Structure 1
Amino acid sequence: MTTPLTSTQQAILAYALEHTDGRIEWFPASLKGGARKKVLYSLCRHALIQPSGDNWQITPAGYEAMGRPCPAQKSVPAKPHTRQNSKQAQVIAMLSMPEGTTIPQICIATGWQAHSVRGMLSGVFKKKLGLTIVSVKTDAGDRSYRIA
């Protein structure tokens, strides 16, 4: 079934296909407020566009209505392989021990300064790798870190 498109709808879809990889980001200057909403609603109702985050994205039916082939799905990049002999792997092994490890111990093992170790703990391990790091104060007064 082909959906008849108005000239405005065709212009919006054509611009999205040519310039923004199918994202609806441009509208004719004469299309304001309620008229813009009605055009989007009509395109959505005919399943030619769909919400994608804060934007609208052309659907496969939208590509078909414009006489264009639907682009291939982008493959999700594989998770990077972590080397077993890297300093990061050493630190993760130290943090995996039941008693954990201290910042001075990590400094000795890696040759890093203390501020670099703290940055690795908060930036790479917590934010990028999503590890939960638990900090406990030892009897000696040092702080011991381990993976929960």
Structure 2
Amino acid sequence: MPKLTDSQSIILTRAASRPRNLAMPLPKGLAGAAAKMTVGKMIERGWLEEVDANLCRKEPLWRETGDGHGTTLIATEAGLEAIGIDPVVASTVSNICKARPAGKPAEAAAEASEGPRLASIRQGTKQALLIDMLQRPEGASINEIVEATSWQAHTARGAISGALKKKLGLPITSEKHPERGTVYKLDAA
């Protein structure tokens, strides 16, 4: 595990619990040249990435680029690994957010749910297993999910709609198949 300063550790830990792994706003007391130096080193090491801020969602700005546009900071997979979090979902969520055009209904639904969302989960959990199953090209049926996780069918459906769709904002689709029943898939952009 790389050596982190207290400020770097706080920034990455807070980013891991925010939607889209947003690193902004920075901790109180970290401003000016100190903030610029800390963030610069984190970007250089690949722990943070500067991306366009979504002003419709009122994301905090790291810097303004002109013409009413600006950038914000997000934690990368390497940044999450630096604090000991395995980024199972981080890359999927990041790719989806980058690929989704502004103003889509999924963004409005994600914006409506307030409170921190953990965009990366621990390896070896049932939720991680569920995400892996949904990312397969053939997807996963409820019966397959129940067999793999030992959950009840209603628990599996609740995890898909509540934890994955609503809390993490993942684009999960469902299709009816004659042999397998309803099959769920996670379509990463």
Normalised by the length of structure 2, the TM-score is 0.37
Q: Which has the larger radius of gyration?
A: 1
Higher relative CO (CA 8 A, sep ≥ 6), structure 1 or 2?
2
